[in-house]
Amino acid sequence: MLKRFSLLSLVLILALAAWYFINKENSVISSQDFVIDNISNIDKIIFEKDNQSLKLEQVNKEWLVNDTFQLNVATLKRFLKVFSNLNLIAPISSNARDTVISYLHTSSTKISVFANNNLRKEYLLGDLNNSGSGNVVLLNDEKLAVVNSMILVQDLNDIVSVNSLFWRNRMIFNKRTDQISRIIHANIKDTLKSYTISVENKNLRLYDFANHQIKIFNETAVERYISYFQNIGFEKIENSLIYEQKDSIIKFNKLHRIVLIDKSEISYELDLYLKPAKISVNGMSKEFDLNRIYGKMNNEENMLIFEYYIIDPILKDIDYFIEN
């Protein structure tokens, strides 16, 4: 009798162990597993795809793209709204699990979400499925399912990207005077017109091209000039240039280099170039566009287009600040 009881106990223990491991492998999942909750605590999100990565991070209460560009907050809010309302359609069957996971590790966008600088959730976001009902998602290398955002967006890939332009605010300079440490303006065509402005505890200092301090200058003009950096944005991205054209513009058309360094010692570097344009003005052919100028931020590949009336206020020569 005792032997029989021991045998039954062993069988029961083995059955329970089998049940545990089977259910651990195929644990019951719900929509709540996939959603991002308490979104107010999110302070960093990293996207990775095809050997490219992009970071969104909150620094001193300001969201930055790749530690440099200001974030379009509306785009971030849309992402968080969608991922805080994910809806489970169906788990992936155990028969297809290994194949699907293998595919996701080679063809997906990895999304790492942090709260208080601690990893909260990690997604591998796959394609929209054939029926269009949702995307295949692997959560934390464990839970695998098809999810969607109900009516907010059909394909979750439409709200994620490793391209900084997808996330960036079009404002390249959006700083108040109390956020600025230095502004360095190099006039490429005429070095003597270059200068540096320093803001130290509300005290303004002006330096010439050789970094010699200028004692007497028009402080009102300097304050006005600094105020222009609150609202400088680009119009659009130039997508029509072939490599040879872009290379020629960078080599021969450079006009200005403007570097803004904020109080956190983060640099925002803008290089400006003449924009070629074969247009007719009053019957005469003009070599360069009279209304727009090219720019590159922080040595990025993308060539930006600025309207002259937007960018012109920050192109002052040093003479603008010198009292006569």
pLDDT on residue 15? 43
Q: Which two tokens stand for residue 65?
A: 């793209």
pLDDT in tens, the chain (324 residues): 544 445 544 444 444 444 444 444 445 789 999 999 999 999 999 999 999 999 999 998 889 999 888 899 999 999 999 999 999 999 999 899 999 999 999 999 999 999 998 999 999 999 999 888 999 999 999 999 999 997 788 899 999 999 888 898 888 888 989 999 999 999 999 999 999 999 988 899 999 999 999 999 999 999 999 999 998 989 888 878 888 999 999 999 999 999 999 998 989 999 999 998 865 445 455 688 989 999 999 888 889 999 999 999 999 999 999 965
Residues forming beta bridges with residue 207, ordered by sequence position: 196, 213
pLDDT on residue 212? 96
Contact present, 199 and 180 (Cβ < 8 Å): yes
How far is Cα of residue 292 from the mean position of the Cα atoms in its chain?
Answer: 25
Sign of CA dihedral 114, 117, 119, 120: negative
User: Residue 102: which H helix or E strand, with range?
Assistant: helix 94-104
Distance (Å) of CA 35 to CA 12, 45, 79, 85, 155: 37, 14, 12, 6, 16
pLDDT on residue 278? 65
Contact present, 57 and 63 (Cβ < 8 Å): yes
Predicted TM-score (pTM) of this structure: 0.62
pLDDT on residue 68? 80
